[in-house]
Structure 1
């Protein structure tokens, strides 16, 4: 049964009450017009983290921004909506930019996954044994020390990477450490970035757990780090729930296209 215009208006008002007017972009609008029942079910799913609010509204928006701005997704309507909401909820420009900086580290997983596999292949082939077994030299030990100090942890998946290409490792250390050592106030006393360490780790969790990435090793590591910085299981679950909402973008991208083509008839078969 098709919903009446009055029923659709009620659903829109419910959306605004739950998620805010800024979140009602063209994807939601087209979905409401084409499939009110699915719109309602989608709204119910998206509203659960809002209702529980283990994370503040501001931090929910920043986690959503991390999911949508990740290189594996890049969902522009969501990025715009979540930046607007974060600003409305009191986020600073530095906090928003820091989410972008943290999320921009996703690409290093090519090395986190690829380098250990390369070493595994070299072992199986019995070649380049010296290169893959040699101990760290003084420079490499210093890089390991710097990474541990600036990033607050060390993991075995960095070992082969540092051993085989210390130059690129050093460049990545500088790149990834910036949000952890940036002096936001310029007073030399608060060189730790804009977001608290717990929130930084939750941002890493957000794009690692997203269905477009699913980087298990990194997700487990950053969950442990987040707990170590004081995160609760409920906060981490809320990050997972927010990342799950990525699947709604299937309808948000498709619905406007369907609405356009069915209205003009240009999608009909010849």
Structure 2
């Protein structure tokens, strides 16, 4: 009996040794895949919660890999991944441990990655190493990421303001023009345009934003009782700029219209 028991024990031990346990890297990769595909119906939430714990416990060196998983993830999956990555970064920053600077900088500059993921990496780097901001922003003025571009434009505006304050108008105009070329956000564009106008420079805002200022209009058609929404009027069936149609108050025809509004608004 003792021999058989020992034999069974040895056999069991051999079986256990023969089954390799999943490595930390494999567990992380599997967990990332689970989170990447979380659906909106909530059926994956239990599995996602387990996977989230694995990802959030990963070493900081894995942050670029975790952020990369956001590429192509479902909207809900991207949220799970983002919060897991933030948990890691916050843990490291709280404990004053270094983040993988070079890998995260490379991630920020790689426009193939998701813009929000790149901005997360940028924010962590700036919090950890403030001087890295001046290394990255000059490279981001034309970046497709709205957040990163805005940061870069803010830097250009600040530089132009400093030059302007030193009474160097020609240099200030050039600096503001560089900022304007990169700017897309309305508040920043307005600020730059106001500064340039004070320096005697005209700014063509419609052209900057790509607004259409010349239109062809035809109206009015009857919309009594909102029936115009369901009625298909002749100009919706054909495009004939020389045609005339019966409108609400008489014959209507196509007319040229131009707007001078700085933001391209059309006032009917």
Q: TM-score, normalised by structure 1?
A: 0.25
Higher helix share: 1
Q: TM-score, normalised by structure 2?
A: 0.25
Higher relative contact order (CA 8 A, sep 6+): 1
